[in-house]
Amino acid sequence: MAWVILIASGMLEAVWATALGKSNNFRKPLPSIVFVLALTASMAGLAWAMLSIPVGTAYAVWVGIGAVLTAAYAMAFGGEKATVAKVVLLMGIIGCVIGLKVVA
């Protein structure tokens, strides 16, 4: 169950990171509220997962999931250009996250 919570928390990291970017320095209320709620839930889930997953592994997986999803969202919807190099490097992060789960 800790791994499911950790993965969901990593996904919420992408939500809060994207909302932060859309908040216009906290000038837009809806993205600012989404940021605070997603950040709180993401951190709480990470903290809970760390009760049974080692800190280094949990944090690396959480950051990896959040980074890949944030970058993928930006490439799909946010106007960031997708290149072969970026996609290959993001796939490398995914491979590393899977590897951390396998060796855990």
Q: Say if residue 101's pLDDT is above 90.
A: no
56-86 pLDDT, tens digit per residue, is: 999 999 999 999 999 999 999 978 999 999 9
Q: Are 10 and 66 in contact (CB under 8 A)?
A: yes
pLDDT tens by residue, 4-26: 999 999 999 999 999 999 999 99
**Which pLDDT score is estimated for 40?**
98
- Collapsing DSSP to helix, strand or coil, 49 comes out as helix
Asked if residues 43 and 62 have their Cβ atoms less than 8 Å apart, the reply is: no
Q: Quick one: pLDDT at residue 79?
A: 85
* CA 22 to chain CA mean position, Å: 16
Minimal CA–CA distance to 3: which of 46, 35, 41? 46
